[in-house]
Amino acid sequence: MNTIVLDEPFKFRFTQTEEPDQPGPGEALVQVRRLGICGTDYHAFRGRQPFFNYPRILGHELGVEVIALGSESRELHVGDRCAVEPYMNCGHCIACRAGKTNCCASLKVLGVHVDGGMRERILVPIHKLHRSSILSLDQLALIETLGIGAHAVDRASIQKGENVLVIGAGPIGLTVVQFASAAGARVIVMDVNENRLAFCRSNLQVSDTLNPTDDSVKVLEELCNGDLPTAVFDATGNPESMHGAFKFAASGGRLIFVGLFLGDVTFYDPDFHRKELSLLATRNSTARDFERIIGLMEAGVVDTTPWITHRAHFNDMANRFSSWLDPEAGVIKAVVECGAE
């Protein structure tokens, strides 16, 4: 079957691989119909993904169709369209036992640590498939990305009416904006890129955006009636931004690191203590997040229509991929169509 392998940085290879085995008990064989491309894939392509092994079949944002089931399932049938929760957890470590499958101690992510969906068919555990008879394949392929924001907002227990600052309006930051708004928060977005801020204003109903300057604390206080935001999300993965984010949170507030980078984040402890801040990391998402997102998308609360800015067919993806890396291309989300409709 047709497969795209990333042999080494900057080198995709279009090739043929073996068909998967017939599904065993608890497994489903699925046809990959849509692939979303994200920062993780770009980093892998550029050789900037830490702990990444080559060759690897990428693809962790998947809209699929069930073609065979290895065992009876009450929820799932052949022909169902699903999103794939690509986080393969062990099921018995302390995190898994606590239901925190997203941060399993030996987590394997499809398309990152193990081969993913840049091929025609894959085997997936039935319990990692989340079906919807309403959502389109495009929407299903976006659910994994949306999960990052949904889980981050859930981690921070965002309340209705609270002032929330989201730093970094890339695709991941946008997912945070989306779910913080859905939780009823008043969202302010900060980014160095004016185009991204404009996107938030025109497509995500964000009325207050700002560029980071020396006056940012004052500007935020003006926007929040003299207070600072009670929750600050940093989705930049940029150490200076993460370091600076501590000063934007209100006393008693929380700071949530959504983006990550390979290194140390430092902060001035007296400020951290004076405000009694809560610092939270957030990672991936859970089955519960997937179900919640599907519900919100089906109800039209979360609309991702403006997000997909670039498309390619599977056969043409390798040629188009590097152009999506160009900041001038203005890619928010690129999706790959697989097979015939």
**Footprint on this chain of Zn ion (rule: CB under 5 A):** 38, 40, 89-90, 93, 96, 104
Q: CB 35 → Zn ion: shortest distance, Å?
A: 10
Q: Which of 106/207 has CB closer to Zn ion? A: 106
Q: Which CB, 261 or 267, lies closer to Zn ion?
A: 261
Contact 83, 132 (CB under 8 A): yes
Give whichever of 97 and 218 is closer to Zn ion, judged by the CB atom: 97
Report the nearest approach of Zn ion to the CB of residue 92 (Å). Answer: 6
Q: Which two tokens stand for residue 81?
A: 């369209």
- Three-state secondary structure along the chain? CEEEEEEECCEEEEEECCCCCCCCCCEEEEEEEEEEECHHHHHHHHCCCCCCCCCECCCCEEEEEEEEECCCCCCCCCCCEEEECCEECCCCCHHHHCCCHHHCCCCEEECCCECCCCECEEEEEHHHEEECCCCCHHHHHHHHHHHHHHHHHHHCCCCCCCEEEEECCCHHHHHHHHHHHHCCCEEEEECCCHHHHHHHHHHCCCCEEECCCCCHHHHHHHHCCCCCCCEEEECCCCHHHHHHHHHHCCCCCEEEECCCCCCCCCCCHHHHHHCCCEEEECCCCCHHHHHHHHHHHHCCCCCCHHHEEEEEEHHHHHHHHHHHCCHHHCCCEEEEECCCC
Nearest distance from residue 101's CB to Zn ion, in Å? 7
Q: Tell me whether residue 90 or residue 217 sits nearer to Zn ion (CB atom).
A: 90
Q: Which is nearer to Zn ion, 127 or 186 (CB)?
A: 127
Cα atoms in the 13 Å half-sphere on the side-chain side of 32 = 32
Interhelix angle 137-155/287-298, rounded to 10 degrees, is 120
**Shortest Cβ 40–Zn ion spacing (Å):** 5
C-alpha pair distances (Å), 322 with each of 42, 308, 326:
9, 17, 7
Least CB distance to Zn ion at residue 286 (A)? 12
Q: What angle do CA 249, 203, 169 make, to 5 degrees?
A: 40
CB of 90 to Zn ion, least distance (A): 3
Nearer CB in complex with Zn ion: 104/317? 104
Cβ proximity to Zn ion: between 173 and 229 the closer is 173
* Closest to Zn ion by CB, 41 or 162: 41
**Residue 214 CB, nearest approach to Zn ion (Å):** 34
Q: At closest approach, how far in Å is the CB of 33 from Zn ion?
A: 17
Nearer of residues 47 and 184 to Zn ion, judged by Cβ: 47
Q: In the bound complex, what is the minimum distance in angstroms from residue 67's beta carbon to Zn ion? A: 24
Widest pairwise Cα distance in the chain? 62
